[in-house]
Amino acid sequence: MFIKSKKLNLPTLYLWSKYFYLWDVSIVKDPALVRKIGEATALEVRATGIQYAFAPCIAGRCYESYSEDHKIVQAMTEIIPGLQGDIPANSPKGVPFVAGNMLGMKFYIATWLGYFLHCTGFIGLVRAMKKVIACAKHYVGDGGTTKGINMNNTVIDRHGLLSIHMPAYYNSIIKGVSTIMVSYSSVNNKTMHANCDLVTGFLKKTLNFRGFVISDWQGIDRITSPPHSNYTYSIQTGINAGIDMVMVPLNYTEFIDDLTLLVKSKAIPISRIDDAVKRILRVKFVMGLFEDPLADYSLVNKLGSKDVNIDK
């Protein structure tokens, strides 16, 4: 496995899609229990050498979320500090955070490779060996699609979107969630992977989210119908909409070639690439991957141990 790229010496981020039996958990309506589940999950995920869990699913295609009651879903975002750790008091809203073992160095402002990593507020430089990067998904409205159909369209006015589908994302950002995944679905006939207004305009600018936005599995392919019918257009539209990291499971060479041409032709501004790189590096830095990108083999004994068995 490539832990660091040979050219730039950047640590590689390994990720895993983690599903919980959310409807069972939400029945008890116990945020403290959900937090413990997050803690146990983080420990076992790190024991496998993976640093990034695609969880929680706070708006999941009607059948993957905690509840149809958005207030319950809001409360269940307590799983985020379970996965990532508690964000330090007085931290600026929108800044990603992953807790771990203190390295002994603390800072107010950090600059790394010319990228602005953090603004005002106190934070510890950490070696996050027992916590994982969390991912709030799927942004936004995929729990309200017409007839509950997967990848369908959510028809809703602005008030309904902000009062029903958005609050769990407010909570997630306040709790320091590091990443947010966009949905396959659409809002008022605008596919979320191409929705610049909601991804860049609202999530990044209005809510000041400073982690990175990731696509769903082959999500940008689905910008066109049929999928992948105009891949160059899909890449241009998705990246310009505000997607920072793209899941490309099969045709990554095609993606790299097309993206390179789009940047060279200025169809995708270099400032958009700089923003995406800055956000991804910020999360990796906060995660502690530049200090220690390797797995902690001592955690293997935690797999299936009493430390991760939760009695209720």
Q: Could you tell me the CATH number of the domain that includes residue 28?
A: 3.20.20.300
1 lies in a domain?
no
309 lies in a domain?
no
What pTM did the predictor assign?
0.87
User: How many other β-carbons are positioned within 10 Å of the β-carbon of residue 249?
Assistant: 7
DSSP category for residue 309: -
pLDDT score of 126 = 39
- Are the CB atoms for 90 and 84 separated by under 8 Å? no
pLDDT score of 11 = 75
For residue 89, give Cα distances in angstroms to 86, 122, 175, 211: 9, 8, 10, 18
pLDDT score of 121 = 34
pLDDT score of 2 = 43
pLDDT score of 245 = 98
303 lies in a domain?
no
For residue 226, give Cα distances in angstroms to 203, 230, 244: 28, 9, 23
Q: Report the distance separating Cα 270 and Cα 266, nearest Å.
A: 7
Q: Which DSSP string do the residues of 92-112 spell out, in sequence order?
A: PTT------EEEEEEES--EE
Q: Is the dihedral of CA 40, 44, 49, 50 positive or negative?
A: negative
pLDDT score of 107 = 31
Local confidence pLDDT in tens for the 312 residues of the chain? 345 555 667 777 766 555 555 556 667 788 999 999 999 999 888 888 889 999 998 876 666 778 888 898 999 999 999 999 999 988 889 999 998 644 323 332 343 333 344 443 334 343 447 899 999 999 999 989 999 888 999 999 999 999 999 999 999 999 999 999 999 999 999 999 999 999 999 999 999 999 999 999 999 999 999 999 999 999 999 999 999 999 999 999 999 999 999 999 999 999 999 999 999 999 998 988 887 777 777 777 777 766 666 655
43 lies in a domain?
yes
Which residue type, as a one-letter code, is found at position 252? Y
Tokens read off for 1: 């496995």
pLDDT score of 200 = 99
244 lies in a domain?
yes
251 lies in a domain?
yes
305 lies in a domain?
no
pLDDT score of 176 = 97
Show the domain range for 277: 15-293
262 lies in a domain?
yes
Number of domains in the chain: 1
